[in-house]
Amino acid sequence: MKAFKTLGLLALALALTPATWALPKIKILATGGTIAGTQASPADAGYKPGTISVADLISSVPQLRNVAELSGEQVANIASQNMSHEIWLKLATRCNAVLADDDVDGVVITHGTDTMEETAYFLSLVVKSDKPIVLVGSMRPATAMGADGPINLYNAVALAAHPAAKGRGPLVLINDTIHYAREVQKTHTTRTDTFQSPNRGIAGIMNTGRVFFYSANTTRHTTRSEFSLYGLTVANLPRVEIVYSYVNFNGDTIDALVAKGVRGLVLAGVGDGNTSDAALAALARAAKAGVAVVRCSRTGSGIVDRNIEVNDDQLGFIAGLELSAPKARILLMLGLTQTNDLKKLQQYFSEY
């Protein structure tokens, strides 16, 4: 009898200790990518992304149960070069719904690295919660020698569970490094340190679940964003395309896209957002025809400011400032759901 009493007291003590009842509740929304990829054989460099389920991902890292109470949901299971506006709207809707639940403390999104930066930035503009959202991927498939997925997933869950991750907008975690959605870029085809934040720098670092933030996110995002999913559909998202400048670029593709009815064009220009006179003339024709034109740079970092080598005031262009062309495209798409006014559109690039 005495033994049962002792056991009962022990069970009660365990149930009351912070270590058991206080684990944060984190939802993993899985979309595929290499982190869920497998190879034919470990020595084989080739692999297929998006083959492991979210349940198998969670069970593949037993240490996760020490940092959070997890539940998983398979939103998609694709290689992220196939990410789409349709999946974006579904993912953002699920983020809003899950994060509105008082019983959820944060979200981790597993995602391919090819387009992770774009998804992170889109979510930063339309998700309405200040709870942590952490996107995570890997550069090596789960079956590879030196697979980086397990430690990245462990760190991502620990980060989403950490109070300091709140209110910073979506974060990207890979290779022990924390990035802000607006800053992060994939810069290398294969290296595990491929993600960099060349303009404003990284948000912080992690070491086996320990979190060290270096900087704050001073741009508008999530609950401070004027954009939302309200009324957004795949069909009514304004069509914005990117044109890439290079030697002898003559701008024929610009005219062709205008003829196709695009609402906006983003130039991935040489240097600080430049292009040939012929292409510039095509962009000026587009602007005259009411297409919103944003100048960015193909260099991967730096600021494209107004009226440096191109007279934006005269030609009716918008300067993309710090944004990469893919992120400028996202901001312009959402901006065009609110206004066609060039001054207002330019203001968005100073704030988001």
Residue pair 70/64 in contact by the 8 Å Cβ criterion:
yes
Which of 26, 29, 57, 79 lies at the binding interface for ligand DGL (CB under 6 A)?
79
- When the beta carbons of 83 and 165 are compared against ligand DGL, the nearer one is 83
Nearest to 283 by CA among 315, 260, 321, 331: 315
- When the beta carbons of 78 and 286 are compared against ligand DGL, the nearer one is 78
Long-range contact pairs involving 34-37 (C-beta distance under 8 Å, separation at least 24): 34/112, 34/113, 34/137, 34/138, 34/139, 34/140, 34/141, 34/149, 35/110, 35/111, 35/112, 35/136, 35/137, 35/138, 35/142, 35/149, 35/152, 35/153, 36/77, 36/110, 36/142, 37/141, 37/142, 37/143
Q: Which stretch binds ligand DGL (CB under 6 A): 137-145, 157-165, 231-239, 267-275?
A: 137-145
Nearest to 242 by CA among 261, 269, 281: 269
CB of 58 to ligand DGL, least distance (A): 18
Residue 152 binds ligand DGL (CB under 6 A): no
Please return the burial class of 163, using the count of CB atoms within 10 Å of its CB with bins 0-12, 13-18 and 19+. exposed
Which of 24, 72, 106, 112 lies at the binding interface for ligand DGL (CB under 6 A)?
112
- When the beta carbons of 44 and 309 are compared against ligand DGL, the nearer one is 44
Q: Which stretch binds ligand DGL (CB under 6 A): 111-119, 156-164, 206-214, 329-337?
A: 111-119
Q: Which of 34, 177, 219, 222 is catalytic?
A: 34
Residue nearest to ligand DGL (CB): 112
Residue 149 binds ligand DGL (CB under 6 A): no
Residue 80 binds ligand DGL (CB under 6 A): yes
- When the beta carbons of 123 and 319 are compared against ligand DGL, the nearer one is 123
- When the beta carbons of 79 and 120 are compared against ligand DGL, the nearer one is 79
Instruction: For residues 274 and 165, give the distance between their C-alpha atoms in angstroms, rounded to a whole number.
Output: 38
Instruction: For residues 275 and 278, give the distance between their C-alpha atoms in angstroms, rounded to a whole number.
Output: 8
Instruction: For residues 269 and 304, give the distance between their C-alpha atoms in angstroms, rounded to a whole number.
Output: 9
Is 93 one of the annotated active-site residues of the chain? no
Q: Which stretch binds ligand DGL (CB under 6 A): 20-28, 135-143, 196-204, 317-325?
A: 135-143
Residue 81 binds ligand DGL (CB under 6 A): yes
Q: Could you list the residues that contact ligand DGL (CB under 6 A)?
A: 33-34, 49, 79-81, 112-114, 137-139
